[in-house]
């Protein structure tokens, strides 16, 4: 569990840890709480929130962005509404204000029924989660997106779960790089150890070296697969905690 008693303890923890916070948006329905969530969004976030056509998508967007803002406010004494973000050409968000934030990196994900974010200190990071019961033509997608080495690891008995192992690992990695799906190619592949849910990346066009990438898989419940990617040459302990923002 994450020590969440004080901002100082949390921030000190990030020196050697990565923190993953998650929640289940469908369990958050109190209107007063949701009104507070809407109040902390920026004008740009509010505009995007209102563009969603389906209430479920609006709700997931609202909760996930409120989660991120409330998580960041746990590390520094800044109100959730005061954080300002920018994004690169592929849409990866970064903090621009306030200046009091000391090198905190983050990434956000939301899928059907789950929202999660990761926070690190001066470490590149990415996160992705998927509901493994989502209907999709898994084999066709896998053949299009996965490297041959990953296709060979797909187990026919657990193809759905194993598919989302590779999918979320790829997503977490390219989100950490800031390239989005445009950077997801067959020039790299993952080897997953299903015993401890760790993974190693292999780059086909360059010698295997120590780039410092660390990958872990988690299942907050049996319905979800969650992957994190962190670039650090020093070992990083990853801590997970459920949080209702």
Which residue ranges form the domains of the chain, and what is each CATH number? 7-242 (3.90.470.20)
Mean pLDDT for 218-227 is 96
Contact (CB, 8 A) for 226 and 220? yes
pLDDT band at 41 (very low <50, low <70, confident <90, very high): very high
The pLDDT value given to residue 108: 96
Range of weakest confidence among 70-84, 120-134, 187-201, 203-217: 203-217
Contact (CB, 8 A) for 104 and 75? yes
How much of the chain, in percent, has pLDDT values that exceed 70?
91
Mean pLDDT for 68-79 is 92
Calculate the dihedral angle through the C-alpha atoms of 168, 147, 199, 110, rounding to the nearest 10 degrees: 0
pLDDT digits (tens, 9 = 90+) for 144-191: 999 999 999 887 678 888 999 999 999 999 999 988 666 668 889 999
Pick 238 or 6 by higher pLDDT. 238
The pLDDT value given to residue 204: 85
pLDDT band at 61 (very low <50, low <70, confident <90, very high): very high
């Amino acid at each position: 569990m994450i020590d969440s008693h004080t901002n100082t303890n949390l921030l000190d923890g990030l020196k050697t840890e990565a923190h993953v916070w998650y929640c289940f948006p469908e369990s958050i329905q109190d209107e007063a709480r949701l009104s507070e969530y809407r109040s902390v969004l920026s004008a740009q976030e509010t505009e995007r929130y209102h563009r969603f056509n389906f209430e479920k998508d609006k709700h997931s967007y609202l909760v996930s962005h409120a989660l991120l803002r409330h998580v960041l406010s746990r590390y520094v004494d800044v109100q959730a509404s005061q954080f300002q973000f920018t994004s690169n050409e592929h849409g990866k968000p970064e903090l621009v204000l306030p200046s009091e934030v000391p090198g905190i990196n983050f990434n956000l994900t939301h899928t059907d029924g789950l929202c999660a974010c990761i926070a690190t200190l001066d470490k590149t990071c990415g996160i992705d989660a998927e509901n493994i019961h989502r209907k999709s033509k898994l084999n066709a997608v896998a053949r299009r997106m996965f490297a041959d080495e990953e296709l060979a690891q797909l187990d026919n008995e657990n193809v759905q779960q194993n598919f989302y192992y590779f999918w979320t690992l790829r997503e977490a990695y390219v989100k950490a790089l800031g390239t989005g799906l445009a950077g997801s190619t067959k020039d790299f592949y993952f080897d997953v150890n299903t015993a401890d849910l760790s993974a190693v990346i292999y780059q086909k066009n360059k010698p295997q070296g120590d780039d410092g990438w660390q990958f872990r898989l988690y299942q907050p419940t049996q319905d979800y697969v969650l992957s994190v990617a962190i670039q650090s040459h020093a070992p990083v302990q990853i801590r997970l905690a459920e949080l209702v923002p």
